[in-house]
Amino acid sequence: MDFGTGTTFDVISERGEFLGGVIAPGIQVSAASLVARTARLTRVDLAAPRSAIGRNTVEAMQSGLVFGTAGEVDGIVERIREELGAPAATVVATGGLAPVVIPHCRTVDRHEPFLTLEGLRLVHEHAGSADE
């Protein structure tokens, strides 16, 4: 999954085939929408609060954004694993906001911060070898 503008999930088979995916609003998009469409809420740092129950408006928003996104991730991953019949399917997270959310996820197995760049490198190498 990629924590970017959208939180996206790409489902890949054991043979490396793309099976489909999920696109959800990213945590920054959700935060911006909440602030833009609510009269009295202001921007907050995207960080986990000390507890799920916010003791003030900032902590309540942070809880909803960070823990809400983590819960969304876990719920979607559980559904995907169930559909695949693969309870041990590996979940890899990437994207700039992954470090904010994944410590609060129960289903993420690995964090690969440079996954997209690594993929581009492999495509480039493959394209270069095809020219030879």
pLDDT score of 26:
96
Domain containing residue 91: CATH number:
3.30.420.40
To the nearest 10 degrees (0 to 180), the angle between helices 27-36 and 68-84 is 130
With cut-offs at 50, 70 and 90, classify the pLDDT of residue 130: low
pLDDT at 100: 96
Buried b (16+ CB within 10 A) or exposed e, 95-114: bebbebbbebbebbeeeeee
Q: Is a pLDDT exceeding 90 seen at residue 18?
A: yes
pTM above the 0.85 mark?
yes
Q: Write out the residue range of the structural domain in which residue 93 sits.
A: 2-131
pLDDT of the residue at 129: 66
In tens, the pLDDT along 29-78 reads 999 999 999 989 999 999 999 999 999 999 999 999 999 999 999 999 99
Range list of H helices, the chain: 27-36, 57-62, 68-84, 98-101, 115-131
Q: What is the pLDDT of residue 49?
A: 97
Check: CB of residue 44 under 8 Å from CB of residue 58. yes
Q: Are 120 and 114 in contact (CB under 8 A)?
A: no
How many distinct structural domains can be found in the chain?
1
